Structure 1
Amino acid sequence: MTAARAARQPTRIGWREIVGLPGLDIPSLHAKIDTGARTSALNAVIIREFERDGIKWVEFDVTFTEDRHVQRCSAPVADRREIRNTSGIPQLRYVIETSLTLGSRRWQIELSLADREPMKFDLILGRTALRNRRICVDPGRSFLSGLPGHPTPDIIRSA
């Protein structure tokens, strides 16, 4: 396949991937790709709003389901809006903007902060984060994009 043709091909990802959130100093975490969800959601608890230089910020803890370690993060508040949870019940949530790394690709996304402790994945990656990124989700596959910040191995790319 020529380089020009490969550039036009959508990036194929699985229903679950390992992604990075470098803007939050999170090099990797497990994400479920959920095209049924509009907004992406990060597992965040102990959320505290504060002001820095006249701008609203939030500070929050991310607990990683894989090894249960906790990381304190902070980010400017992009919005605060009602978002329906998995049961369809609206919840008022903080929304932040940060960078996402998926394989060797990186772009800005919106993340809502929600207590996802009982859920299996630390991050739900919704359709708005994937829109206009030339991404095709293969629901029968997992971990197609490789580790965040690394090129996808050719053997997986052609599968």
Structure 2
Amino acid sequence: MLYRRIKLFCIFLLFATHFQIGWSKILLGWLEYIEFPELGIVAKAKMDTGTFLSSLHSIDKEYFQKNGEKWVRFILEIENQRAKKKHKKTHLIVERPIERFTSVISSNGISNRRPVVLMTICLGNQLYQEQFTLNDRSHMIYPILIGRKSIEHMGLIDVSHIYTMQQPQCNSKNNIN
């Protein structure tokens, strides 16, 4: 009996050590609040393991040159969760340099070419610089998708929960991950 208890205790220690080392990532729900600190907007984002790149709802894209680089100007139409009146969309004109273009096959099977831009986001108390494709998502429920490329260094997804993180609380002292 004592031998069996010692054996179970050793197995427990092995698992505890494994999970402590192997599970250093945070646990995220399938929906989380993220902030775009440069824009002062907090929004709902769907953690989408079915898509590789993150996607951001944008309308009225305009391409232009700035200092010899390709840029895009777009309207970010999003429900700001910090606004006093919920369910009212904020419209912001945003300009970003284009990192590249990528072809994306949407859920309906249609392929289209989208610009990719870098955006700084805050999740919990961590800042991340992430790549987003720009696309009109007005017909979708969630205007922001966080894809696998971003999720892999943010944490693990628990699909049975939403909003596991605190409201975004980043400041200029936070380092970008």
* TM-score scaled by length of structure 2: 0.75
Structure 1 partner of 2:162 = 142
What is the correspondence of 1:76-155 to structure 2 with a 5 Å cutoff?
76-133=97-154, 135-149=155-169
1:59 counterpart (48, 73, 76):
73
Matched-pair contact (CA < 8 Å) for 2:53–2:133: yes
Residue deviations 1:74-99, cap 9 Å, x none?
A: 10000112111122321110110121
Over aligned residues, Cα RMSD in angstroms? 1.7
2:77 and 2:119 map into 1 onto residues whose CA distance is 18
1:117 and 1:140 map into 2 onto residues whose CA distance is 26
Instruction: Give the partner amino acid of 1:140.
Output: S
Higher strand share: 1
Q: Secondary structure at the match of 1:64?
A: strand
Higher helix share: 2
Q: Give every structure 1 segment of 4 or more consecutive aligned residues whose post-TM-superposition deviation is greater than 2 Å.
A: none
Residue deviations 1:13-41, cap 9 Å, x none?
A: 10001101234x14311101101111110
Structure 1 partner of 2:175 = none
Shift of 1:132: 3.2
Matched-pair contact (CA < 8 Å) for 2:78–2:89: yes
Matched-pair contact (CA < 8 Å) for 1:27–1:148: no
Matched-pair contact (CA < 8 Å) for 2:53–2:131: yes
1:111 and 1:26 map into 2 onto residues whose CA distance is 18
* TM-score scaled by length of structure 1: 0.83
Note the residue ranges of structure 1 that are not aligned, 5 or more in a row. Answer: 151-159
1:48 counterpart (62, 65, 69):
62
Q: Secondary structure at the match of 2:99?
A: strand
Q: Secondary structure at the match of 1:129?
A: helix
Kindly name which structure, 1 or 2, has the bigger radius of gyration based on alpha carbons: 2
Q: Secondary structure at the match of 1:130?
A: helix
Note the residue ranges of structure 2 that are not aligned, 5 or more in a row. Answer: 1-19, 80-86, 171-177
Q: Secondary structure at the match of 1:121?
A: coil
Instruction: Give the partner amino acid of 1:56.
Output: K
